Amino acid sequence: MARPDPKRPTSRAASRKQDSDSDIEQVEAKPPRKPATVAANGKPTAKPKPKAKPESSTAKRATSVEEINDSDRAEGSNTTANKRKRTTTATATAQAEVPSAQRLERLIADNKRLTEQCKMLNAENEKLNDQLEELFAIRHTEPESLLEQHKAEVAIERKTRAEVVDELTKQLAAVQPLAQSNSGVLHLVTREAADEEKLALERQVQEMKDEIAQLRTKASDLEIDLRGERQIAAQLAKDSQKKKPVGNSGPVHPGTTAKVGQTIQLYEQLSNVCVVGVKSDLTELSKVTPSTTYTCIYTCDPQPSEKEQLGPGMEEPPSLHFSLEFLTNSPLDEDDGEVAHYKPFDLDKESKEWVARLDYYATEFHFSGKQLPLFMRQMRDQIIAGTAKEESEGEGSEVGSEMDVDADRLIEVEVNEIE
C-alpha cells in the first residue's frame, strides 16, 4: 500500500483550502499598478483602469474538483508552482511597498517643513505689521505736529487776508472814481491807470509841499521886513512926540471936550458923513510913513424934489459904508501931496440896482486930497439919482476923468507891488 504524500491534502476540505490559497496567491502575484499621475491642481490626468472582477467561489470549487480528479502528479506540480508564485508575489509586494513608504515619509517631512515655514512667515508678518503701526504712530514728533498745525493756520490766515485785500480793492475801485467825478455812474479803473493816477497825485503833493516851503520862507522874510518897518515907524513916532507943539501948552479947560464934540456933530450934519473909526498905521500902500485911515458912513437926506429920483418903493437911499486912507509921500501922487484912497464896504448886502447906480463908487480908487469936496458932492448926486456922470459933462467932467485915471494908476501900482 502506498504511503500518502505529506504534501497532498488528505481530504476534500484540505483540497479546498489549498485551492483557495492558490487562488489568493494567483491574485497577489499580479504586478502592482503604477500610481496615477496627478496634475498641479490635485486632479488625476488620466482615468484609472477598471479592476478585474475576482472569480466566484463556485467556479473556484469546480476548478479545484477537476484538478483533483485529473491526477495526483498534476497536484504535486501545482503545489510547487504555487510556492514559487507565492515567493515571487511576496517579493514584488515588498518591492512595491518600499517606494510608497519613502514617498509618504517625504511628503510628511515636506508638510511639516512647509507648516513650520508658514508659521514663521505669519510671525514675521505680524512683526512687520506692528512695526508699521509704530511708524505711523511716531511719523511726526510733537514739535513737527505743532509746526504742521502752525503752517496750516498761517495758510488759512494768508488766504483770508488775500480775500479781504481783494474785496477792499474792489470797493476802493468802485468808490474812488465816483468821488473824483462827482457822479453816480460807476467807472472801472484798471490797475495801471490807478498806479499812474497815484504817481501823478504823489508828484502833485510833492510840488505843493515845495510850494508851501517856499511860501513859509517868503513869510519869514516878510515878517523880518515887517519888524524892521515897525521899528522905523516907532522911531519916527518917538521923534514926532519929542517935538513940542507951538502955542498954549497950559491945562485944557473942562468945557473944551464938549465943544469939540459939538463941532464934530456940526461937521457931520453939514457933510452927512459919520466918522466911526480912525487909525494910524503902516499899510500895504504906506510902507514907510504911517497913514491915517477913516472909517465913514455916508447918509443922505434927499429933498422932496429929489425923492422922485430914488426909484419906486424907495423913500431914502441906503447908507454907504466906506473908508478913506490918506497917504503922504505916496508914489501915486506926482505933486508929492496927500492922496486919498477910497474903498467901499458891505455892497453885497445891498440891491444890485442900487450898486449899479453907484457906478465907480462901487469900486475902490484913489484921488488927490485937494479933490475931497468934489468927491463928496459927486457921491451925493450918485447915491440919489445916479447923475454924477451927467453932471460931470459940465463942470465936473475934468475931475471925474482925473478920478478914473487915478483909479487906473492905483491898479497898476498894486499889480507892480504884487509882482
Q: How far apart are CA 283 and CA 290, in angstroms?
A: 7
Instruction: Please indicate, yes or no, whether residues 286 and 343 belong to a single structural domain of this protein.
Output: yes
- Percentage of the chain exceeding pLDDT 90: 16
* DSSP state string for 52-76: PPPPPHHHHHHHHHHHHHH-HHHHH
Please check whether residue 283 is in contact with residue 325, taking contact to mean a CB–CB distance below 8 angstroms.
yes
Instruction: Please indicate, yes or no, whether residues 328 and 402 belong to a single structural domain of this protein.
Output: yes
pLDDT tens track for 78-107: 666 666 666 666 666 655 555 688 889 999
Q: What values do phi and psi take at 54, rounded to 5? A: -70, 150
Strand ranges inside 246-362, DSSP E: 273-281, 291-298, 320-327, 339-345
pTM for this predicted structure: 0.34
Q: Report residue 337 as a C-alpha cell.
A: 501931496
Instruction: Please indicate, yes or no, whether residues 173 and 196 belong to a single structural domain of this protein.
Output: no
In a domain, 271, yes or no: yes
Min mean pLDDT across 196-210, 239-253, 379-393, 394-408 is at: 394-408
Q: At what angle do helices 57-70 and 12-28 cross, to 10 degrees?
A: 120
Residue 260: its pLDDT value, please?
76
Q: Which domain holds residue 63?
A: 15-27+55-82
In a domain, 121, yes or no: no
Mean pLDDT of 363-389: 78
pLDDT tens track for 226-242: 888 888 877 777 766 55
pLDDT top residue among 40 and 215: 215
Instruction: Please indicate, yes or no, whether residues 302 and 345 belong to a single structural domain of this protein.
Output: yes
pLDDT range class, residue 164, cuts 50, 70, 90: very high
User: How many folded domains does the chain comprise?
Assistant: 4
In a domain, 327, yes or no: yes
- Considering 28-37, 76-85, 335-344, the range whose residues carry the highest mean pLDDT is 335-344
Q: How far apart are CA 175 and CA 184, in angstroms?
A: 10
Q: Which helix (DSSP H) or strand (DSSP E) does residue 371 occupy?
A: none
Average pLDDT, the chain: 70
AA letter at 145: S
In a domain, 164, yes or no: yes
Instruction: Please indicate, yes or no, whether residues 406 and 314 belong to a single structural domain of this protein.
Output: yes
In a domain, 134, yes or no: no
Q: How far apart are CA 383 and CA 350, in angstroms?
A: 13
Residue 339's SS3 state is strand
Instruction: Please indicate, yes or no, whether residues 229 and 323 belong to a single structural domain of this protein.
Output: no
Instruction: Please indicate, yes or no, whether residues 406 and 265 belong to a single structural domain of this protein.
Output: yes
Instruction: Please indicate, yes or no, whether residues 228 and 323 belong to a single structural domain of this protein.
Output: no
